[in-house]
Amino acid sequence: HADNAMFEAKQQGRNNYHFYSKPMNVEARKRLTMQNGLRRALENDEFYLCYQPQLDAKTRRVIGAEALIRWQHPQLGLISPNDFIPLAESTGLIIPIGEWALRIACEQNKRWQNEGLPPIRVAVNLSVRQFYHQGLLSSINAALQQSHLDPRWLELEITETLAMTSADKTLKKIQALQDLGISMAIDDFGTGYSSLNYLKQFSLDILKIDKSFIGDIHSTSGKALISTIINMAHSLGMHVTAEGVETLEQLEELETMACEYIQGFIFYKPLLKEDMQQLLIRENSKIVNTLSQ
């Protein structure tokens, strides 16, 4: 094959594009493999969820976890959600995939509770398309009913882009979800373009500061910005989760600023469910020890 290609290219002259387009073909083929694979990934059981612990900044106890999807592709290996979620979103496959994630997260959380482990809130990411899908409420209700999970242990993360589109519809949907007893969080805060006015109307429960801000906390302006965001969130009745906390300096600054929850590599990376379970078992024995003292 290679010889043929070479021969053809030579015949067609020096500027032959077949030669130069070859690396592109590899990329294009990978995309196509991913696109086709995405359609069958659910039935082939290729997705799994990791859980990244969230800690109370004061007590350092694990109070929650964010469920983060992973795709183990049979040929391409492990694929990051940053690479396939946009594809799932544009093809509409995010609807069944998102429903799957929601169901698994609820079931897993309930299973931990049934094992007598300290209850935590599990946060699930909702994509824009999923949020506006007309079947959202019924699929959430189904996930809650089938798992028997109390809705107070479920948190849904939405992004700021939502805040800009048809505010009234957005407002009603958020309210309907909160009426079920679910906590609503705004994810990646500061990277989108939500107006402060919308933020006030939405009355969300949790604001997650994006990790790009946390990385800037050492600078005077970065510090000022974060403390402004935290104070604003508090005055709107929200609690704050800092995402992407990696250093002791960042942790200490956030504690000083009364940020409630910490999620980041300084404590834990996203964990396999077995490792999350081991962590909860250790947390449980800490609580038992405290009680028996």
Q: Which residues bind Mg ion (CB under 5 A)?
A: 125, 157, 187-188, 243
Nearer to Mg ion, 243 or 260 (CB): 243
Q: Does 53 bind ligand C2E (CB under 6 A)?
A: no
- What sign does the dihedral 88-268-272-105 (CA atoms) show? negative
* Both tokens assigned to 153: 């242990």
Instruction: Using the rule CB under 6 A, give the single segment among 36-44, 75-83, 195-203, 232-240 that binds ligand C2E.
Output: 75-83
Q: Is the distance from CB of 53 to CB of 62 less than 8 angstroms? A: yes
- Residue 264 CB, nearest approach to ligand C2E (Å): 3
Q: Does 188 bind ligand C2E (CB under 6 A)?
A: yes
Is beta strand 154-159 parallel, antiparallel or unpaired with respect to 77-79?
Answer: unpaired
Residue length of the chain? 293
Nearest to 185, CA basis, from 218, 214, 162: 162
Long-range contacts of 79-83 (CB under 8 A, 24+ apart): 79/34, 83/34
Q: Does 276 bind ligand C2E (CB under 6 A)?
A: no
Q: Which of Mg ion, ligand C2E, none has residue 246 at its interface (CB below 5 to 8 Å by kind)?
A: ligand C2E
Nearer to ligand C2E, 4 or 37 (CB): 37
Q: Is the distance from CB of 84 to CB of 249 less than 8 angstroms? A: no
- Residue 105 CB, nearest approach to Mg ion (Å): 12
Q: Which of ligand C2E, Mg ion, none has residue 265 at its interface (CB below 5 to 8 Å by kind)?
A: ligand C2E
List the one residue from 63, 85, 95, 158 that touches ligand C2E (CB under 6 A): 85
Q: Does 242 bind ligand C2E (CB under 6 A)?
A: no
Q: Does 253 bind ligand C2E (CB under 6 A)?
A: no
List the one residue from 54, 108, 113, 125 that touches ligand C2E (CB under 6 A): 125
CA dihedral 135, 136, 140, 145 (to 10 degrees): -20
Q: Is the distance from CB of 120 to CB of 65 less than 8 angstroms? A: yes
Which DSSP symbol is given to 276?
A: H
Judge residue 167's burial from the number of C-beta atoms within 10 Å of its C-beta, 0-12 exposed, 13-18 middle, 19 or more buried: middle
Q: Which of Mg ion, ligand C2E, none has residue 82 at its interface (CB below 5 to 8 Å by kind)?
A: ligand C2E
Nearer to ligand C2E, 203 or 247 (CB): 247
Q: Does 69 bind ligand C2E (CB under 6 A)?
A: yes
Element (H, E) at 239: strand 239-243
Q: CA-CA distance, 168 to 196, in Å (whole number)?
A: 15
List the one residue from 108, 109, 113, 127 that touches ligand C2E (CB under 6 A): 127
Nearer to Mg ion, 160 or 243 (CB): 243
Q: CA-CA distance, 228 to 230, in Å (whole number)?
A: 5
Q: Does 57 bind ligand C2E (CB under 6 A)?
A: no
Q: Does 177 bind ligand C2E (CB under 6 A)?
A: no
Q: Does 80 bind ligand C2E (CB under 6 A)?
A: yes
| Residues making contact with ligand C2E (CB under 6 A) | 52, 68-69, 80-82, 85, 98, 101, 125, 127, 157, 187-188, 211, 243-246, 263-265, 270
